[in-house]
Amino acid sequence: MDCIFCSIASPIYEDAYVIAFFDAYPVTTGHTLIVPRRHVPDYFSLNTEEKRAIDRAILALKRRFDQSLKPAGYNIGINNGKAAGQTVFHCHVHLIPRYVGDVSDPRGGVRGVIPSKQKY
Ligand code: AMP
Ligand code: ZN
């Protein structure tokens, strides 16, 4: 199968169910993708073990980044479907460390998927 996330060579985290690696086009330093080893398109296709493993990965990577990168916050997000912005159709969770001042006004965060509605 021709899928970039099925052939990642250098994960920064892995277990029996998931791997994680740095995003090739990071929006901030440390922007990481967590993916199930199984090729499934979206969050809704994950099984319980994969969802638990993703949660463990998020927490382990957060602890690691808190020490190494010292961000001030995180966004966690999944684009499910082309209409929601998904471009790689192997399920992946974006873990995005956030730093004070990385944007001038961060209010609204993930509401920014609809830019005109980000701030309320
Ligand atoms: P999405 O739009 O949610 O499908 O996100 C796809 C993500 O994959 C984007 O943030 C890209 O920067 C990232 N990406 C694309 N190709 C690669 C690659 N070869 N290795 C790591 N990340 C990638
Ligand atoms: Zn895949």
Say if 115 falls within a structural domain.
no
Q: Which atom of ligand 1 is nearest to the CA of 78?
A: 3
Q: Look up 92 and say whether it is catalytic.
A: yes
CB 20, CB 60: distance < 8 Å: no
Domain that holds residue 68: 4-101
Ligand 2 centroid–CA 11 distance in Å is: 14
Say if 11 falls within a structural domain.
yes
CB 31, CB 97: distance < 8 Å: yes
Say if 112 falls within a structural domain.
no
pLDDT value, residue 18 = 98
> What pTM was estimated for this model as a whole?
0.97
Say if 95 falls within a structural domain.
yes
- For ligand 1, pick from 33, 80, 94, 113 the residue to mutate: most ligand atoms within 8 Å of CB: 33
Residue 44 sits in a domain of what CATH number? 3.30.428.10
Q: Is the pLDDT of residue 10 over 80?
A: yes
pLDDT in tens, 84-94: 999 999 999 99
